[in-house]
Structure 1
Amino acid sequence: MVGQSWRSFTGQQYGEVMASVLRTTSGRAPELLGRALNRMPKQTLLQAKRLLAERVSSDVFESNRRRELSFEISSRVLQSSRTMQTHNFVSATAKDLQFMAELYDQFFFSGLCLPIARHYGLQFRWSKRMTSAGGKTVRIIHTDHSTRKQSTRYEIVLSATLLFQTFSDLQRPIRVTGVLCTNRLQAMQRIMEHELIHLVEMLVWDDSCCAAARFQSIARRLFGHTEHKHDLITQQERAASKFNVRVGSLVKFQHDGQAYVGTVNRITRRATVLVVHPTGQLYDDGQRYRKFYVPVSLLRPAR
């Protein structure tokens, strides 16, 4: 069904599908739509998926139009947010993510993507634990063990850690999806665009891969993306540039008033430091180590 040309929808048929979608989603407070189910009749759901597939498979937004819509979205997000005060905002909420996604759905996906997702269940949130990916879109399948029935819901998650340490104390050009970003809000928009394409592909075609030709075609035609990676400032980059600490570095630090010397094994939100100790865990090299999780700012090179 989703493989046909969108021109197979007449104007009347398109209007009927959209009217049915709007009837399904009307009367719900926007702040309640982030997680709540909003069931569509089966036929409406199938038609909406088909129309969404046809739109993203053929629509092209020229660069000037993309810039206009991107600016409109950023302006509306700042105007509506209770926490985002500037383009380099220092705090944001899940509602800000949701509102941004709703604007993108309205302007780029004919208002079809989020109603389809809400048929199953959709949530937006920030994560402090994501330290390598700028964002992720997740399909969560739950099985009721008593009935063996499965239910599906979706999440779009953006990394608070990466976004908020970019455009901060380290200065370098930031490219997200191949697009040069000059502030945090622009980076947030590029990540949201990328994740919404993942969501569309999951809803319509069940699978999504940003390295695949279909994804990259949609990303290029709709948003002008030229890459599928987010070159944000990572914890590892910040640790190396600001504190001269890298994986493998010999470092010293204080813990409970005692001085320790150890080797950096990993850097995420904090550095994982292994200290040789007779009561520690046995590792492959035959040594026993105690493991410490230390903020990078508290580490100093030991040599």
Structure 2
Amino acid sequence: MSSDSTPVPAPAAPPVPHAPRPKSTGLHKGEAVPGVAKVDPIIIADGVRRTFGGLTAVDVDHVEIPRNAITALIGPNGAGKTTLFNLLTGFDKPDAGSWSFDGKSLSGVPAYKVARMGQVRTFQLTKALGLLTVLENMKLGAKGQSGEHFFQGLIPGIWRKQEKSIEAKAHDLLRKFKLDAKQADFAASLSGGQRKLLEMARALMSDPVLVMLDEPMAGVNPALTQSLLDHILDLKDEGMTVLFVEHDMHMVRHIADWVIVMAEGKVVAEGPPLEVMQNPAVIDAYLGAHQEIDLGEITGRYHAEEKN
């Protein structure tokens, strides 16, 4: 056989969850428009505005995040997604606005207190402590540790039993995330994808109610992408709410129950993934930013896979 007749392998399809879960239904009240009320919101934000000099990064009139669902926050680069994340989690302060988590106001609440309330986040650029081992990073994620208090820390009998419980929980999570073989390694030695897994696993050490993931797939080796996808779906199965920022529309349509679209700091569309991808405002936002994305092609694939 000549070299000209050598078959060319088809490009690999984007990874998808191994066993797709049914999408949540009945998340909103009335028509799916920007700011639509949710049946059971876990976050409610009103009039949130953040400017940097003459640039308005976030200008959100009203948005609600549904409980026990996976919500994707999407939009072109510079849309204000990460800034909104920073505001909701206490890592930045707004110029105006108010928001609540699980019925409790978060306005002016610092990040560490927000985390203690059950709302944790990961970062686009991972924040693993490189000179600590993987296991030590995990143990730092547990909240309410007696040994952190000066006087209690002087008496091992007070904190030793809790320390053993925390370490056992860390071992269980590391096994689940397939990082147990790395537990004694320094976090700095992990690959980018492994650091993403570590950050997600460490977030679960605090038993969160809401997990917020800032571009969880950014810089991840394709070999680990499937694992991350499945872990995100598992969070919902375990009763948590997930809000994540993502540019990969293939990923969004497969795992998100609800999609919120931002452009130029504002929420321009909301709805189920398929409806959002067909929304003219969404297409304008992406094409207007010259994004290399074919929403029509993605929608077509979605229909084909649903039929199969």
Normalising TM by the smaller chain, what interval?
A: under 0.3
Q: TM-score, normalised by structure 1?
A: 0.24
Question: RCO higher in 1 or 2 (8 Å CA, sep ≥ 6)?
Answer: 2
